[in-house]
């Protein structure tokens, strides 16, 4: 850790004097560290990546505040934690003021337009069903099926092992199928009743 | 944008930067400049006689010391907190000074009561104190924000809170050189109200004034 900190310290020192290669190497090297710190605040892959990118942008903006006489990791950790808190607060603020309006989708006479809207409606439906799954299963299906991540990428992003991801994704698909069948039966029952 | 692309774009935008001086040095510069201006203002106007006669009383000396310690420690803490990676415990540094300031002022209130001027002149000269603290704080706050914004603080709330406490305490300390009477309840209330207004204004303007990153 000390050796790593020393390397980052000298890379940042070089970056402060404008050496692009050292700077890019530093940013590449600190990205997994930043991701690990951010993961303590959030496990959602999308938010996690936003935290990583916001942290790198902030490092760029405040790179003149780093003092090479001091260790690098506490400086970087403080920036990462701050950005993670800011993003989580922003999410909370937005979700407390906004909600999705499912009925705002209109259908049009042109078949092509409807097809597009139906796709949106189906996606919304899948998203609603996903909310009913246990968190680990939802995480697995989102990463592997919706974001089309590889098993290794999904494992790194979610913190689940490859084996656990496979099992959770399989269970999630089975549960989704059952949920969809349940919905179809309900809809058919309503139509027969009418 | 992918993280890889972001790194490449940040690398392309890289320019050399001038490293920020240590917070203690920046605090010393601001406090030194404020002290120099204070000495000039006092020597060109009222001189030291008001201050030296009042400070002979130990309680008033404690009050002045409390204000001075609060000013120095709050400005230092603000500059420390403006840089990432410094301990959040720096925010506690002004606490002993604040306690000394409030406790000695509180004792003065116990000794002098609500007002020295009776019901007829309840507020008396205290409104001038309010105006003095506000008037002195504005240029001091502008100068401190100028020093602080170089750091582009990532968490501007504690930086602005501590900085404005330091500014208001500096103004309250400067007031002691022009304040010919002892503290009363109404006087202390107006001093604290002025400190509160300065802090509220500074906190309200923090994002823009500090160019938060």
ipTM of the complex: 0.83
Per-residue pLDDT, A155: 76
Per-residue pLDDT, B122: 57
Average pLDDT (A68-80) is: 96
- B54 is a domain residue: yes
Nearest alpha-carbon partner for B96 in B64, B69, B128, B60? B69
Which residues of chain A are within 8 Å of residue B86 when distances are taken between CB atoms?
Answer: 78
Residues 6 or more apart whose CB falls under 8 angstroms from that of A93 comprise none
| pLDDT tens digits, A42-52 | 878 888 999 99
State the sign of the Cα–Cα–Cα–Cα dihedral B76, B80, B86, B90: positive
Average pLDDT (A73-79) is: 96
Task: Indicate whether A190 pLDDT > 80.
Answer: no
Q: Give A191→chain B minimum CA distance, Å.
A: 46
- B13 is a domain residue: no
Count of domains for chain B? 1
What CA–CA distance (Å, rounded) separates B212 from B192? 28
Angstrom distances, CA of residue B103 to CA of A109, A138, B63, B197: 78, 58, 8, 21
Q: Which domain holds residue B81?
A: 23-209
Nearest to A64 among B10, B13, B20 (CB): B20
Nearest to A62 among B11, B16, B213 (CB): B213
What CA–CA distance (Å, rounded) separates B175 from B198? 15
B15 touching A, CB under 8 A? yes
Print pLDDT tens along chain B (213 aa): 688 999 999 999 999 999 999 999 999 999 999 999 999 999 998 888 888 888 888 999 999 999 999 999 999 999 999 999 999 999 999 999 999 999 999 888 887 777 666 555 555 677 888 899 999 999 999 999 999 999 999 999 999 999 999 999 999 999 999 887 778 888 888 889 999 999 999 999 998 888 888
- B7 is a domain residue: no
Residue B11, judged by CB atoms within 10 A of its CB (0-12, 13-18, 19+), counts as buried
Average pLDDT (A101-108) is: 58
- B53 is a domain residue: yes
- B57 is a domain residue: yes
Contact A152, A162 (CB under 8 A): yes
How many H helices and E strands in chain B? 9, 0
- B139 is a domain residue: yes
What CA–CA distance (Å, rounded) separates B76 from B68? 12
State the sign of the Cα–Cα–Cα–Cα dihedral B198, B203, B207, B213: positive
pTM for the model stands at: 0.72
**Chain B residue with Cα closest to A17:** B16
A82 contacts B14? CB cut-off 8 A: no
Of A29-33, A95-99, B110-114, where does the model show the most confidence?
A29-33
Tokens found for residue A140: 């697995």
- B18 is a domain residue: no
Per-residue pLDDT, A188: 73
Residue B168's φ and ψ, nearest 5 degrees, are: -65, -40
Tokens found for residue B150: 């170089």
- B4 is a domain residue: no
């Amino acid at each position: 850790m000390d050796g790593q900190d020393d390397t980052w310290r000298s890379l940042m020192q070089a970056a402060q004097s404008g050496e692009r290669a050292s700077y890019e190497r530093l940013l590449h090297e600190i990205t997994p560290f930043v991701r690990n710190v951010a993961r303590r605040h959030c496990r959602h892959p999308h938010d996690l990546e936003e935290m990583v990118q916001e942290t790198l942008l902030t490092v760029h903006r405040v790179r003149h505040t780093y003092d090479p006489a001091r260790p690098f990791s506490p400086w970087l950790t403080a920036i990462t934690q701050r950005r993670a808190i800011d993003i989580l607060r922003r999410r909370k603020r937005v979700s407390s003021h906004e909600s999705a309006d499912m009925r705002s989708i209109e259908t049009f006479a042109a078949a092509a337009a409807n097809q597009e809207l139906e796709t949106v409606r189906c996606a919304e439906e899948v998203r609603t069903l996903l909310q009913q799954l246990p968190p680990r299963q939802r995480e697995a299906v989102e990463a592997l099926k919706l974001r089309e991540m590889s098993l290794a990428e999904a494992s790194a992003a979610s913190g689940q092992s490859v084996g656990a991801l496979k099992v959770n994704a399989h269970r999630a698909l089975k549960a989704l199928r059952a949920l969809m069948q349940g919905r179809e039966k309900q809809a058919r029952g309503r139509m027969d009743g009418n | 944008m992918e993280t890889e692309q972001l790194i490449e774009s940040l690398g392309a935008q890289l320019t050399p930067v001038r490293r920020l001086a240590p917070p203690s040095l920046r605090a010393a510069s601001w406090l030194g400049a404020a002290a120099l201006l204070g000495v000039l203002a006092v020597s060109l106007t009222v001189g030291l006689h008001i201050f030296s006669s009042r400070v002979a009383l130990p309680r008033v000396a404690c009050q002045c010391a409390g204000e001075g310690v609060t000013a120095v420690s709050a400005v230092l803490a603000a500059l420390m907190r403006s840089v990432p990676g410094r301990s959040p415990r720096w925010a506690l540094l002004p606490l002993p000074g604040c306690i000394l300031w409030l406790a000695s002022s509180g004792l003065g209130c116990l000794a002098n009561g609500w007002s020295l001027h009776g019901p007829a002149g309840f507020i008396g000269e205290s409104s001038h104190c309010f105006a003095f603290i506000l008037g002195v704080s504005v240029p001091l706050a502008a100068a401190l924000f100028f020093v602080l914004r170089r750091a582009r603080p990532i968490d501007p709330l504690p930086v602005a809170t501590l900085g404005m406490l330091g500014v208001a305490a500096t103004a309250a300390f400067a007031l002691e050189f022009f304040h010919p009477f002892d503290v009363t309840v109404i006087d202390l209330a107006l001093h604290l109200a002025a400190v509160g207004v300065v802090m509220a204004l500074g906190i309200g303007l923090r994002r823009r004034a500090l160019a938060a990153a």
